[in-house]
Amino acid sequence: MTAQDDVRNTADAQADAQGEWYQQPLSTDAEAEADPRAAAQPSRTPAQAFDALHAHCAHTLVRQTYLLTGRHELALESVERAFELAWQRWPEVAVDRDPPGWLRAAAHEYALSPWHTLRPRLRLRRPDPPPSDPEQRTLRDALLKLPPVYRRTLLLYDGVGLDLPDTAAETEASTPAAAGRLLYARAAIADRLPHLSSPEALHDHLAGLASGRRLCTARPTALRARGEYRARLWTHWAFVCTILLLTVTALTLRTAPDHYEPPVPPGAPVQGVPPRAAPGPLSDKERSLRKKLKAETANGPEKLSPEPR
């Protein structure tokens, strides 16, 4: 284990001591008013605010996404992409009423994207080893057998603790649809583990399953650098695609016809025209006249040698 891993594990242990795996509330305005020193502190820079948000909820988001996917690598990648996207859209995230919720939605959307099935490296990789506890192994298998939207609804409501309207809004469903998905997911879990039929017991076992792995993300400085690099890369690609589009448009305008040209109708044979007859042999009179014309072309009558006017 490297020194960087030791630092990350220490940060994870501190995060465990500060709050639960599923919910780490940010400081409220009432707490700021109760502590005058917090109000007297100068405002943070965007980088400092991003680092504070990463320290606050990165560990929690990775564990939630691990429950959602069952894969260590995909959970880390999803949360890191969510933080990179948050840094690219930091003016929007900074004024959001729930920045951890914004990150959670972005991480879950990326983790459940169907495009991951087209990635050979992720598709051919062996699944993560199951938990050693048989009960946790059964719970994880039951979660992964649920459809993704049902699994996400169960995690948000019984794991994170959102209410039903917020769960429906985050999963982009109506409230009755979210309620139906939640009841179906609970029934599927209760079929495998009957003692988890109550929401409180299910919440506790989800917490135990999420806390069984040590999942560490990259440092916030690296995430900011990667976010800026991706933003520059997309900007360059957009610029190149714009230039190509303008070039193709200019060539099209240059080579396209500027007037209507009617199509040439296909040819058709003409019927009823007699064939052209070949000239027959000359008579004696015609041969005599032709001989006379050939001999008197230059010195013949005026009608044979027209005078210039």
Cα distances (Å, whole numbers) of residue 186 to 63, 77, 301: 20, 28, 123
The pLDDT score that the predictor gives to residue 2 is 42
Any idea what DSSP says for residue 161?
-
Q: Which of 266, 260, 155, 157 is CA-nearest to residue 206?
A: 155
Q: Distance between CA 73 and CA 123 in Å, rounded?
A: 12
The pLDDT score that the predictor gives to residue 87 is 92
Per-residue pLDDT tens digits of the chain, which is 309 residues long:
443 444 344 444 444 433 444 444 333 333 334 444 443 445 778 888 888 998 888 888 988 888 888 888 888 889 999 999 999 999 899 888 889 999 999 999 999 888 777 777 665 456 677 778 888 888 888 888 999 999 999 999 988 888 999 999 999 899 999 999 999 999 999 898 888 888 888 888 888 887 766 667 778 888 888 888 888 898 999 999 999 999 999 999 888 888 888 888 888 887 887 777 777 788 888 888 888 877 765 655 555 556 566
165 CB-near residues (< 8 Å, 6+ apart): 175
Domain boundaries, the chain: 3-37+45-223
For 273, counting Cβ atoms within 10 Å of its Cβ (0-12 exposed, 13-18 middle, 19+ buried), the class is exposed
Distance of CA 41 to the CA centre of its chain: 40
Q: Distance between CA 165 and CA 168 in Å, rounded?
A: 5
Q: Distance between CA 253 and CA 288 in Å, rounded?
A: 69
